[in-house]
Structure 1
Amino acid sequence: MSTTANTTAKFSRVNDEELQKVFNQFDANKDGKISVSELRDVLKAMGSRYSEDELKRVLEDIDTDKDGLIDLSEFSTLCRSSSDEVTAALEMRDAFDLYDQDKNGLISKKELHLVLNRLGMNSSVDDCARMIKSVDSDGDGNVNFEEFQKMMSASLMNSDIGSKP
């Protein structure tokens, strides 16, 4: 079993009262939130080893209010997620990071062009600009992680629809 799946399997057996106790135990400064460093300690205690980048990605994926901290509700979601969901979220972030060459949280037409051509998919910068425009919901000319997730979800849904008889 992978580290992510192992950790999630341990968390999924926790009831609400136990969850609150675990949350309180690892909320070291008792502010009602878990920071990245506190999250690292939680996962380390559960037997998991994550790099700083992986921890930041996990935090970004579960920090729904985007305050940089995990509250009890977000912690509960993390703990009760299936291992497949956690693994899929990490894989989605890894895929995004592949395209985000300058690590600024955005995929530009130049970055998309570079990666697609490295993958053997010949496309022009103009083609890439059109691809980005089709998913660029905030109109900034780039694809952020949320737009990337929507694009990938739509792509998966279309491929599922197309593969059915």
Structure 2
Amino acid sequence: MSADEPTKPSPSLYTPNIDEIKKVFTRFDTNNDGKISASELIHVMKSLGSQTPDQQQLTQTMKTIDTDSDGYINLEEFTRFCIGNEQHEEDDDGGIKELHEAFEMYDLNKNGLISATELHQILTRLGERCTVDDCVKMIKSVDSDGDGCVNFEEFKKMMASNGEGAS
């Protein structure tokens, strides 16, 4: 996958498009070396609402995202993680564990649903400029049961369709 390939922007629960992912990546790459280190990842996890992660959480997160195992998260790895690209997953569960972890990052009140308010809080922490109304629209686009929230099944379907380039 080259950086020159065209990418079709598509709304997701992470960020609306590749340019937004790059902005988020740059924000967390605090020393501007083009990669996120384990120490920078701590700040990412804290900004996403986690308490200071313990060494095991940090190691597991690095292992999940750092697919080339060089000890750093580069833009390609970060992008792949954000858009839910599962073609590089090595787990025998087809990446469900990672999807569930991503879902749980947004489910701030741990009720099994991502509300527009929760989505807004996370995107704001990531430096995105969006309104709660924008988040309501994002959720509406994937909310198949009409409850105004995204459950894990809807999240999985959305991530699968993003991976296929479907709308």
Normalised by the length of structure 1, the TM-score is 0.44
The TM-score with structure 2 as length reference comes to: 0.44
Larger Rg: 1
Which structure has the higher relative contact order (CA within 8 Å, separation 6+)?
Answer: 2
